[in-house]
Structure 1
Amino acid sequence: MEEQLKDFEYEQVSRSEGKSKKYPYGTIIKIPKDNTTYFLVALSDFDSNNHAFCSAENYFSVLTKLASYIGNNSEGKTVSMPAIGTGLSRINSSLNVCIRNIVQVFRIVNPPIIGGVQIVIEESSCWKVDMRII
């Protein structure tokens, strides 16, 4: 990852734990490994207690940047991704709301994502997903 991040601007921060380089929201790197390519995105910031958080405004900005990046870099392949915003980023939205947000943003992205996107849901959470919202 360090090699992929070397050309990105960052802020040096002091933390009791974790990395000391803070990258801007929406920083995306492409990591090829074996026969899979991973797109990693900076979504969260950290408070003074080292707890992750992300505002709604930054969340939508990151989704838009990620969708555009995938449209430009997925090479027509199907992309699998988690329901971004349902974990440690503390978006404070339900699984259904996060899925709906991802679908809405990814539908209007330019360039379009040719190979499509699969949102991967943990098996234990599948029952929570309301397919009518999609």
Structure 2
Amino acid sequence: MKFSALRDIKRPRFWRLFATHTFSCLGAVAFLFGLYDVLRPNAISKVNFPFAAAIAVFSIIYASVRSYPRPVEEAYTKPNTMIRIVEGDLFSQPENVVVGMTTTFDTQIPHIINPGSIQGQFLAKVYANDVAALDSDLARGLISVTPSGHIQKPGKGIRYPIGTIVTIRQARKHYFCVAYGEMDAANQAQATMDGIWRSLENLWREVRAHTNGDPVAIPVVGGGLARLSQIFPAQDSIRFIAMSFMFASRHTRVCDRLDIVVRPQDVERLDMLELQAFLTSLKEI
């Protein structure tokens, strides 16, 4: 049994599911025995203790199988798509990748961009820390975008609108660089829920235009340097992303599958059973 499964078994939702499945199984057995009693009166009274115990054990096994934590994913038919929650490294995923940035598209590490951030990993793993190459690709993608202003600070000073996206193609993959946060004069990144929502709306349109339906991997957005982690924890961020994706997909299909990639160190704070229930509930929107 994986440690993550042990963690989920400790949560109240697991035990509520376990109890529900146990009693539903016992209820089904009782109903069948009731029908049997109508056909064979007094036969039920002859059932001995070992047989009754076997029924109880069967109900417990059935409930355990039904309630045991599984990979968190949900397939949808309207439209035909899927959402998965994946633990791992964003840049080891085979899909197209979403990279969060700020409206100034700063790239300089370590004083402006944290090397451990998604953007820092993007620079290291995709560009081999070649800042000039990344800046060149970003500049090429921003040629047709009208700046929204200028800020005096170390690093880049030209601001672009929230939700600006630069799509970069490298080694058969698309990297969608999404500006969902803003830098202040001290190079402190900040984001708002409204800005993230608008950025996601733009992202799904860009994904439609470039991927031909191929799957996309996105990190949990809004935490870390975006200064939203206290009021917008990972659990809420995942629901936010999934809901935005499904709303967009209901309008026009976005892609075959969306993988929301969670860092291993963040998984322990998530209630996977609750997230599975939320993904299932999206079938109704």
Q: Does the alignment reach a TM-score above 0.5?
A: yes
What residue in structure 2 maps to residue 80 of structure 1?
Answer: 217
Alignment RMSD, CA only?
1.6
Name which structure has the greater RCO, CA cutoff 8 Å, separation 6+.
Answer: 2
From 172, 180, 195, give the equivalent of 1:58: 195
Q: Is 2:168 aligned against 1:27?
A: no
- d(CA) in 1 for partners of 2:148, 2:198: 19
Q: How does 1:42-121 map to 2 (within 5 A)?
A: 42-91=179-228, 92-109=231-248, 110-121=251-262
Q: Which residue of 2 aligns with 1:41?
A: 178
Quote the offset at 1:37 in angstroms: 1.0
Question: CA-to-partner distance for each residue in 1:79-98, whole Å, 9 max, x for gaps?
Answer: 01111112222223100000
TM-score, normalized by length of structure 2? 0.44
Gaps of 5+ in 1: none
For residues 146 and 167 of structure 2, the distance between their equivalents in structure 1, rounded to whole angstroms, comes to 16
What does the per-residue CA deviation read over 1:56-90, in whole Å, with 9 as the maximum and x for residues that have no partner?
Answer: 22121112221232233221111011111122222
Q: Which amino acid aligns with 1:37?
A: H
Q: 1:35 to 1:72 in 2, by over 3 A?
A: closer
State the distance in 1 between where 2:185 and 2:172 align.
39
Residue 52 of structure 1 aligns to which amino acid in structure 2?
Answer: A
**Judging changes above 3 Å, is the alpha-carbon distance between structure 1 residues 104 and 14 closer, same or farther for their aligned structure 2 residues?**
closer
How far the C-alpha of 1:48 sits from its partner, in A, is 3.1
Tell me, yes or no, if the aligned pair for 1:15 and 1:50 is still in contact at 8 Å. no
8 Å contact kept, 1:81–1:119: yes
Query: Which is further off, 33-42 or 57-66?
Result: 57-66
**CA displacement 1:6-65 (0-9 Å, x = unmatched):** 110114524331212111000011100112110111111122322111122212111222
Mean alpha-carbon deviation: is it higher for 7-16 or for 33-42?
7-16
Aligned residue for 1:15? 152
Q: Distance in 2 between matches of 1:118 and 1:57?
A: 22
What is the DSSP-based 3-state SS (H/G/I as helix, E as strand, rest coil) of the residue aligned with 2:169?
A: strand
State, as a whole percentage, how many aligned pairs show the same letter: 25
From the CA coordinates, give the structure whose radius of gyration is larger.
2
TM-score by length of 1: 0.89
Q: Does 1:130 align with 2:271?
A: yes
Q: Distance in 2 between matches of 1:76 and 1:23?
A: 28
State the alpha-carbon separation in 1 of the partners of residues 195 and 151 from structure 2: 22
Equivalent pairs counted in the alignment come to 134
User: Match of 1:7, SS?
Assistant: coil
